[in-house]
């Protein structure tokens, strides 16, 4: 009797241990009953029927790095499916572009399992399936593009990869959130040629910029010289105009002064012709004086008609005498009055 009770106690403990399952947050477990899918249990405490219901395991690939930095890939059977977003990083893929250039491309995939049932029953070894699908799709996408387009069209490659993986992910119970191209490496000799091409292009642009700068400098210098000459010409023109206006004004002032002098002389002597002759004689004498001036001058000027000069001098004497007599007469009248 005691043996039977011991056996029952052991069976009870086994049933309790195997029948009570605790699921952590962001995890899921697939339960099968007699080999067929029964249900998916999520976070919390659940009870299953021992020996009749069992937990289905999932083959999953794990990546680790050893002390030398080498990537080690191991495959394990797991019973709990992680529902968090995961990163799948696989080895660099060698692909050939449309213009027959071999490239080494490193890609990352961010995905999350949304349906554990499909992830378990629709595909075998889900990480490996995602990796192989990514490799083949990457070869197809890059194979239709040339090298230059591949280097500048990472977003296009990411988008096409994501579209293909999203379509497959819907069948496999996962959601692909992002696909990122980490690095694209051409061969060493091609990279060296590209660097030389880039240096040549930079040198060409520098020469073009320098030539454009010299051209702009020459244009600005020519424009400055042009504006300077125009300004100088306008200044010279304005100076000549002002000089001519000044000379005209001076002549007007001189003419007005001469007219005033003639008027004064005429009022004094009473005859206009004698006043004019007096002024002409004065200018004539001044002209002769200026012509014969100079310490080294050996030229003697004689008038064409000496009698005319003598006559002019006589007229000047008479005019002076008459002016004196009138002035004296005016002074006597002033004293008498």
CATH of the domain at 102: 3.30.479.30
Verify that 110 and 50 share a domain, yes or no: no
| Residue 20 belongs to a domain | yes
Verify that 51 and 86 share a domain, yes or no: no
| Residue 199 belongs to a domain | no
- pLDDT value of position 32: 93
Verify that 139 and 237 share a domain, yes or no: no
| Residue 214 belongs to a domain | no
Verify that 275 and 327 share a domain, yes or no: yes
- pLDDT value of position 40: 93
Verify that 38 and 94 share a domain, yes or no: no
| Residue 241 belongs to a domain | yes
| Residue 109 belongs to a domain | yes
Q: Which two tokens stand for residue 321?
A: 């005498």
- pLDDT value of position 30: 93
Domain coverage including residue 128: 82-186
- pLDDT value of position 298: 54
Mean pLDDT by 10 residues, the chain (337 residues): 78 79 91 91 89 87 72 82 87 84 86 91 87 87 85 84 86 88 81 78 87 88 86 86 86 80 69 63 68 57 52 61 69 62
| Residue 306 belongs to a domain | yes
Verify that 246 and 151 share a domain, yes or no: no
- pLDDT value of position 318: 67
- pLDDT value of position 37: 92
| Residue 105 belongs to a domain | yes
How many residues make up the chain in this entry?
A: 337
Q: How many domains does the chain have?
A: 3
Cα 234 to Cα 222, 230, 237, 238, 244, distances in angstroms: 18, 6, 5, 6, 15
For the chain, give the secondary structure using H, E and C. Answer: CHHHHHHHHHHHHHHHHHHEEEECCCEEEEEEECCEEEEEECCEEEECCCCCEEECCEEEEEEEECCCCCEEEEEEEECCEECCCEEEECCCEEEECCCCCEEEEEEEEEEEECCHHHHHHCCCCHHHHHHHHHHHHHHHHHHCCCHHHHHHCHHHHHHHHHHHHHHHHHHHCEEEEEEEEEEEECCHHHHHHHHHHHHHHHHHHHHHHHHHHHHHHHHHHHHHHHHHHHHHHHHHHHHHHHHHHHHHHHHHHHHHHHHHHHHHHHHHHCCHHHHHHHHHHHHHHHHHHHHCCCCCCCCCCCCCCHHHHHHHHHHHHHHHHHHHHHHHHHHHHHHHC
| Residue 201 belongs to a domain | no
Verify that 123 and 37 share a domain, yes or no: no
């Amino acid at each position: 009797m005691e043996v039977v009770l011991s056996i029952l106690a052991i069976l009870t403990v086994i049933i309790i241990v195997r029948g009570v399952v605790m699921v952590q947050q962001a995890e899921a477990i697939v339960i099968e009953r007699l080999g067929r899918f029964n249900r998916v249990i999520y976070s919390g405490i659940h009870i299953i029927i021992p020996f009749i219901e069992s937990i289905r395991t999932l083959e999953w690939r794990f990546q680790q790095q050893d002390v030398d930095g080498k990537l080690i890939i191991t495959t394990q059977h797991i019973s709990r499916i992680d529902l968090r977003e995961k990163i799948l990083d696989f080895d660099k893929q060698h692909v050939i572009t449309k213009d027959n250039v071999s490239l080494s491309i490193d890609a990352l995939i961010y995905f999350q399992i949304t349906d554990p049932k499909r992830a378990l029953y629709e595909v075998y070894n889900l990480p490996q399936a995602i990796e192989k699908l990514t490799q083949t799709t990457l070869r197809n996408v890059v194979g239709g593009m040339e090298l230059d387009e591949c280097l500048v069209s990472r977003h296009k490659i990411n988008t096409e990869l994501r579209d293909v993986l999203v379509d497959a992910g819907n069948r496999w119970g996962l959601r692909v959130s992002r696909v990122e191209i980490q690095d694209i490496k051409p061969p060493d000799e091609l990279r060296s040629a590209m660097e030389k091409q880039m240096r040549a292009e930079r040198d060409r642009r520098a020469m073009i910029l320098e030539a454009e700068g010299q051209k702009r400098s020459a244009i600005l210098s020519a424009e400055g010289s042009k504006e300077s000459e125009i300004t100088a010409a306008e200044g010279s023109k304005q100076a000549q105009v002002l000089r001519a206006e000044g000379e005209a004004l001076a002549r007007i002032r001189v003419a007005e002064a001469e007219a005033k002098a003639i008027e004064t002389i005429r009022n004094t002597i009473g005859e206009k012709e004698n006043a004019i002759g007096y002024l002409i004689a004065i200018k004539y004498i001044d002209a002769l004086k200026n012509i014969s001036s100079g310490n080294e001058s050996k030229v003697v000027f004689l008038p064409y008609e000496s009698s005319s000069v003598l006559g002019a001098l006589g007229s000047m004497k008479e005019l002076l005498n008459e002016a004196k007599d009138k002035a004296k007469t005016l002074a006597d009248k002033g004293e008498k009055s």
